[in-house]
Amino acid sequence: MGSDLETTRQFACDRRIGWRPLVDGDEWTVLALDCELSARPIAGFPDFAPLLPVGCSLWQGVHPPVTADGSASAEAYLRWWSFDLPSPPPVTAVLGFCSGSVFAAALANRIADRQGTRPSLILLDPGRPDRMSLEHDFRRAVIALATLSEQEHGALTARVTSELDRWGGDFGGMVDSVVAAYEWASRVAFERAGIDLSAGAELVSVFDSYTRYLRAAQSLATRAEWSPAITILSADRDPLADITGTVIRTGVRRDDLLRSREIAGLVRDILLGGVER
């Protein structure tokens, strides 16, 4: 069984495999963390990239390969992303959306230790993975399985809610239940649609990858340091009690945060030093 460190070494020869360039620039190097693997109709950083000012280089984190046992620890994610940072240095800012904010805070600390200057930490609707967010994402993923009826969607959601009740505060157990329920629902949906199960397995693996990301983020959540951050909240988001520092509330809907010129303007102002922490 390969360790997280062995996995990192195995892929070390692939230059910056942990980062995907979204837009090129020579003035600011900005890193972005989010998970695009969930079935959600939400704008992502690829939508955001063209809205950023000229001169901004934006790179999005790519998930690390899983280890032999199918897992990926929080440390594996952070080591993967910090192993070979995009250039040119220094990193100007780290952006985190939703659960990506947990990773963004930890990564910003590592970058500060490495380059000697702290990048700006910008959090967009930050969230710590919990039961509520897990149920919400599960509902959206199941609704996307169009061959299931509305009644079946409701029955499956009720069943998962009941199963989650018995896990108490065990987030790992909750994730296991949700993944098992999604695998069952997707098999039914694929059979009805006449889709070969081997082809449909790719969709299941996407959801499984997303839940690994959540599991890893949740293990970091109690250690996330958001106090140095500038936090931008959507109109849909209630302020979190544990957010300190600068908080900017906007009238932009959550689904549209990363396609909003207003939000891109705020990020530009932060890069220019026009927003005080």
* Least confident span in 1-15, 141-155, 221-235, 262-276: 1-15
Q: What is the pLDDT of residue 193?
A: 84
Count the residues in the chain.
277
- Average pLDDT score over residue span 39-60: 89
Q: What is the pLDDT of residues 145-158, one digit of tens each?
A: 888 888 998 999 99
Q: What is the pLDDT of residues 200-230, one digit of tens each?
A: 777 778 888 888 899 999 888 665 577 788 9
**Percent of residues in the chain assigned helix, strand, coil, to nearest 5:** 50, 15, 40
Which residue from 215, 193, 196 is spatially nearest to 133, judged by alpha carbons?
A: 215
Q: What is the pLDDT of residue 164?
A: 92
pLDDT band at 12 (very low <50, low <70, confident <90, very high): very low
pTM: 0.86
pLDDT at 29 exceeding the cut of 80: yes
Q: What is the pLDDT of residue 223?
A: 59
Only one residue has tokens 């904010």, namely: 101
pLDDT band at 40 (very low <50, low <70, confident <90, very high): low
- Average pLDDT score over residue span 27-55: 86
Q: What is the pLDDT of residue 268?
A: 93
pLDDT band at 43 (very low <50, low <70, confident <90, very high): very high
When comparing pLDDT for 274 and 113, which is higher? 113
User: Which stretches does DSSP call E strand in 98-162?
Assistant: 120-124
- Average pLDDT score over residue span 108-133: 91
Mean pLDDT of the chain: 84
- Average pLDDT score over residue span 43-62: 93
**Pairing between β-strand 56-61 and β-strand 19-23 as defined by DSSP bridges:** antiparallel
Residue 270 CB burial class (10 angstroms; 0-12, 13-18, ≥19): buried
